[in-house]
Amino acid sequence: MTISKNNDKALLVRHDDAETLDTMGVRLYADHDMTGGKLSANRAFLPAGADGPPPHYHSTSAELFYMLDGRLRVLAGDEIHEIGAGDFLLIPPNMTHAWAAPATSPADVLVVFTPGIERFDYFRLGDRIRKGLASPAEILDTQERFDNHFVDSPIWRQATKNDDRVSLDGEEHRAEFLASDVLRAQPGV
Amino acid (1-letter code) at residue 11: L
Average pLDDT over residues 27-39: 97
pLDDT above 70 covers what percent of the chain? 88
Lowest mean pLDDT among 117-126, 137-146, 175-184: 175-184
Residue 94: what pLDDT? 98
Give the mean pLDDT of the chain: 90
User: What percent of the chain has a predicted confidence (pLDDT) above 90?
Assistant: 71
Query: Rounded mean pLDDT of 64-90?
Result: 97
User: Which domains are seen in the chain, by residue range?
Assistant: 15-179 (2.60.120.10)
Ramachandran sector of residue 77 (left: φ over 0; alpha: ψ -120 to 50; beta: rest):
left
What pTM was computed for the model? 0.88
Given a contact cutoff of 8 angstroms between Cβ atoms, the answer to whether 39 and 33 are in contact is no
Tell me the average pLDDT across 108-130. Answer: 95
Q: Which of 95, 53, 69 is nearest to 181 (CA)?
A: 53
Give me the pLDDT at residue 181, please: 67
Asked whether the beta carbons of 75 and 161 are under 8 A apart, the reply is no
Q: Give percent helix, percent strand, percent coil of the chain, each to the nearest 5.
A: 25, 30, 45
Question: Does an H or E element contain 139, and which?
Answer: helix 137-141
**Structure confidence by residue, pLDDT tens digits, 83-97:** 999 999 999 999 999
Residue 133: the pLDDT is 94
What was the pLDDT predicted at 27? 98
Residue 136 is predicted with a pLDDT of 87
Quick check: 189 pLDDT over 90?
no
Average pLDDT of 24-37? Answer: 96
- Amino acid 184: pLDDT: 63
CA angle 34, 83, 16 (to 5 degrees): 35
For range 115-133, the mean pLDDT: 94
- Find the range with the poorest average confidence among 61-70, 144-153, 164-173: 164-173
Between the two ends of the chain, the Cα-to-Cα distance in Å is 28
Does the pLDDT at position 16 exceed 60? yes
Residue closest to 99 by CA, chosen among 83, 75, 116: 75
